[in-house]
């Protein structure tokens, strides 16, 4: 016999707690899916940027070679060669930065997918 409704309130509290836990689980799933989706597109963007950066590096390398040849022919100053070299270094740095960002994003995607860190093809 529940004269003061203590058992009914305890049952209601347990039911509310269960519903809250279900809502928390749904929210966590949505957050996980949103993060995985955002990260997927980030990886695609970084892949595109890496491709562009590789092209820029090739162009800068050819420009440096041309500047060096023109310098040896006496057509330009040493400063132009230094500028061309700096441009190559800048492009290399940009490419390395993008590759590092992509690796971080891939690692994050692996974690979001629940795969072991060293497992490929998850």
* Spans of all domains in the chain: 11-113
Number of other CB atoms surrounding residue 60 within 10 Å: 19
**pTM passes above 0.85:** no
Tens-digit pLDDT profile for residues 39-83: 999 999 999 999 999 999 999 999 999 999 999 999 999 999 999
Classified by CATH at the fold level, domain 11-113 comes out as: Helix Hairpins (1.10.287)
Tokens in use for 114?
């629940």
pLDDT, position 3: 57
pLDDT, position 24: 85
**What confidence tier does 91 reach under pLDDT thresholds 50, 70, 90?**
very high
Q: How far apart are CA 110 and CA 121, in angstroms?
A: 9
The runs of H, that is alpha helices, within the chain are 6-72, 78-113
């Amino acid at each position: 016999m529940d004269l003061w409704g203590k058992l009914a309130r305890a049952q209601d509290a347990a039911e509310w707690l269960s519903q809250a836990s279900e809502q928390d689980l749904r929210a966590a799933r949505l957050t996980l899916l949103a993060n995985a989706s955002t990260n997927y597109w980030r990886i695609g963007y970084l892949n595109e940027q890496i491709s562009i950066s590789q092209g820029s590096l090739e162009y800068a390398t050819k420009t440096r070679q041309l500047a060096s040849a023109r310098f040896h022919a006496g057509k330009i100053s040493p400063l132009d060669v230094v500028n061309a070299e700096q441009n190559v270094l800048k492009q290399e740095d940009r490419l390395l930065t993008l590759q590092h960002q992509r690796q971080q994003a891939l690692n994050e995607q692996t974690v979001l997918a629940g795969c072991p860190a060293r497992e490929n093809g998850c």
